[in-house]
Amino acid sequence: MSTPSLLFIQYPASGASAPPPAKPGDLLLFVRPHRLLDYVIKLFTLSRYYHVGIYAGDGHVLEARPKGVGRNSLADRKGGYVVAPAPHGKGAEALAWAETQIGANFDRWNMVHVLLEHIFVKIQLNIVPSGKYSCGELAATAFYHAGVRLFPDRDLDDIEPKDFARFLPKEEAERRPVSNT
């Protein structure tokens, strides 16, 4: 019996670990859900990615989470993520804009909006609250303000974490992050 040849990438959850192989402004796509909501997102979007953030350097990620937009440590994450290089080399500019949004509210309606569109495939909702972000919306809007429209055929509020997979290098997209536990 042969073993499939899969590549693995491991990001230890220990605070003593080195920062991930990412540069500030790179995109982090999270694959190891640890909350019920994370599992729901993966289920409805049929994706291995449930969350996206922008690497902020020094082992931190800038992201939109239910508590709002913030700069959070990656040391206590219970799982893995994959790194997508900043599209068009505009990571520093995107990160700089995203940092101005720290403290902005999380867009809970966007989450409901995405789930409803996946349940009722023929429905098209357009809800755009100002100054609130889902994780995908924050990342896409940051690059928009850096001069790059990542998804020219989509509204910024329609972006989901799985959409960012197109920016992963081919070899990275095939890797399976593993937990350190």
Position 33 scores a pLDDT of: 81
Cα gap 56→42, rounded to integer Å: 24
Largest CA distance in the chain: 56
Look up the pTM and report it. Answer: 0.74
Q: For a pLDDT cut of 70, what percent of the chain falls above it?
A: 67
Rounded-to-integer distance, Cα 51 and Cα 167, Å? 15
Whether the Cβ atoms of residue 79 and residue 8 lie closer than 8 Å to each other: no
Confidence at 9, pLDDT banded by 50, 70, 90: very low
Q: Where are the domains of the chain?
A: 9-175
Note the CATH architecture for domain 9-175: Alpha-Beta Complex (3.90)
pLDDT in tens, 84-93: 999 999 999 9
Per-residue model confidence as pLDDT tens digits over 143-163: 999 999 999 998 887 888 999
